Amino acid sequence: MVTRFEAEPVHDAELEQQAFDLLLSYRDAQFTELNHLLMMAASCVRSEDIRVTIGNRDRSKVVATYFPSRGQAEDRLQDHIRVSARVMSLSSDNSVYEEELKHITHQSIMATALSDGNRSVIGAVTMIFDENLVDRASIESKVRLLASSVGGLVNSQFNAIRAQLAQQSERRARDLAMRKERLLEEVANVSGVGGWEFDVVTQELFWTRKTREIHEVDDRYIPSLDTAYDFYPEQSRSIITQVVEDGLKKHGIWDVEVPFVTAKGRQIWVKATGFGVYEGEELQRLIGGFQDITARKRQDDLLEEKEREARAQRNEFSAILANMSQGIAVYDAEAKLKYWNQRYLKILQLTENDITIGMTFCQIIKHLTDVNLLSGDITTLINRMQMNFELNKELRMKYRLGAESVIDVIYTPLPDKGWVTTVEDISNREAIAKQIKFNANHDSLTGLANRLLFNKALTKVITTEPQARPYQYTLLLLDLDGFKAVNDNYGHIAGDEVLIEVSRRLHSIDETFEHCQSTTARLGGDEFAILLAHQKDTHALSEAKLVAQMIHRRLCRSYTIVGKDIHIGVSIGIAQLLDIDVELREWIHRADTAMYSVKKSRKSGYHVSNDEERFDNES
């Protein structure tokens, strides 16, 4: 005979399993009522041994027993175990269950299965009786009543455990919810983000505590969608209204940053975000976040202002670089090019294809060397740069670039171990400086050396020790005869033309003597001078006389000026530099005295100092 116990329906499988596991862990003392029930049932059905087992095929436990004799109980234990195991392994289907149970029981043992509300077997009641003393059919109703009672007690205990677990679970859930709520509040306080929810059905608007703080309203304030809009000034109200209306019509997340005025009149910036929550295709509510972003907005505005200033400075710097007369290039600590201006390329005669960012300084110098624009030892340059940079000093160099250009280059160290290269084309400056120097040492009319340069040449010669002099030297002083009449009769312009032609003729004489070097100068007015440098193995005075004769012949030829033939003469004094000469004025005085001796004779020619020999145009 089989009697089932049907438990209350269970919807929480996890809770059910926890309750069942806890029931199996109970000690025997916790099933006192069940043991009393078995004792009374045994006297009614005259059973010698009754046991109640809770469990399944994997795990089971005897929770209540009744047996008069312990010795007999131990002998029958295996029968209880075998029958209980078979009962708890049977299918819950009634037809199969009843049929299989017939094969398990026999005349002296009865089994009753316990099942839960889902008709799963969760236990068994087994009973052994004496078939000679008890009629099986007569006790079936009593066995069913016993099964019902046992099932009721087990189920009551099971429900009590389940209720206790449910309460614990609910309490844990409530505690967790409270912790989450506190956590959300703490996160909101830390992050400054509040929350809001709008129920589309009830038209109710809910704000979190942080959202209320941002609005500067207390807990008594009841917000609505219309009053919420009032916190936004006119210029931003239309924006927030539009995004909320779009949120009511469209899916997706939206966010907007707009000006905002609190209940206390403070003007701030807020960020509002939101999205729709749907059940099926029906929008139920809008939820989102709310944040005071005033501080961040100020930082953004400050950063934007700084970026504008930085852009302006960069533009100004770029404009300065673009309009500088110097070329600029910046190199990093690894000697790699960072940036440059167009002037840098133009001065160094480079194109955009010749250099790139990251190109090394040595590569650029090598390129200039390869195209024959620059010459020199790059290693020496690098060493000099390093030495100066270690002392935080700039290095200034001058280079001749190609055939015509002269550039001034400054290498200036930077704090990051890089440097700035400044290049400037100083070709014009050099040419002007050269011209100024030339003008300072040459006659502006004839282009010949002037008195200053000529005296420097004489001083250099006379201050050199005689044995160290590479040449023999003679000095020729010339004074034009009849030149004053040219100025008086034809004017100073004509006189200047005569002086220019005299200088040309003197220059042509310089080129005639291959073995005699000469320096010709105009000392002023109609006075000229020539320094002759003779080879040591020649007769200096003889060679000087030949030069004087040639000068006399050429200068005394007629000059065609302003359509007129003009004739002048020349008086020449010659003085050789002697080893005993130590004063320049003595040497010049001897030549000057020789020249004036010719002048006094009123006849053009030359005269050698300390010599009776004289040459004139009539001799």
pLDDT in tens, 58-89: 677 777 676 665 555 566 677 777 777 777 77
Percent of the chain with pLDDT over 90: 41
> Residue 355's Cα: distance from chain center in Å?
23
558 burial via Cβ count (<10 Å: 0-12, 13-18, 19+):
exposed
Percent of the chain with pLDDT over 70: 77
φ and ψ at 342, to 5 degrees? -65, -30
pLDDT in tens, 555-584: 999 999 888 899 999 999 999 999 898 899
pLDDT in tens, 230-286: 999 988 899 988 888 888 888 888 889 999 999 999 999 999 999 888 888 888 889
Helix (H) or strand (E) run with residue 548 in it: helix 540-555
Question: For residue 143, what pLDDT band results from cuts at 50, 70 and 90?
Answer: low
For the chain, the average pLDDT equals 82
Flag whether pLDDT at 48 surpasses 80.
Answer: no
pLDDT in tens, 576-604: 999 898 899 999 999 999 999 999 988 88
Question: For residue 458, what pLDDT band results from cuts at 50, 70 and 90?
Answer: very high
pLDDT of residue 114: 67
Flag whether pLDDT at 18 surpasses 90.
Answer: no
Question: How distant, in Å, are the alpha carbons of 53, 162, 240, 466 from that of 63?
Answer: 6, 18, 68, 142
Domains, in order of start, for the chain: 13-165 (3.30.450), 192-292 (3.30.450.20), 324-430 (3.30.450.20), 442-616 (3.30.70.270)
What secondary structure, in 3-state letters, does 17-45 show? Answer: HHHHHHHHCCCHHHHHHHHHHHHHHHHHH
φ and ψ at 481, to 5 degrees? -95, 135
Question: For residue 324, what pLDDT band results from cuts at 50, 70 and 90?
Answer: confident
Name, of 8-22, 73-87, 180-194, the range with top average pLDDT.
Answer: 73-87
pLDDT in tens, 346-402: 888 888 889 899 999 999 888 888 877 777 788 888 899 999 999 999 999 888 887
* 605 DSSP β-pair partners: 571, 616
Q: Which of 195-199, 227-231, 273-277, 510-514 has the lowest mean pLDDT?
A: 510-514
pLDDT of residue 281: 83
Flag whether pLDDT at 5 surpasses 50.
Answer: no
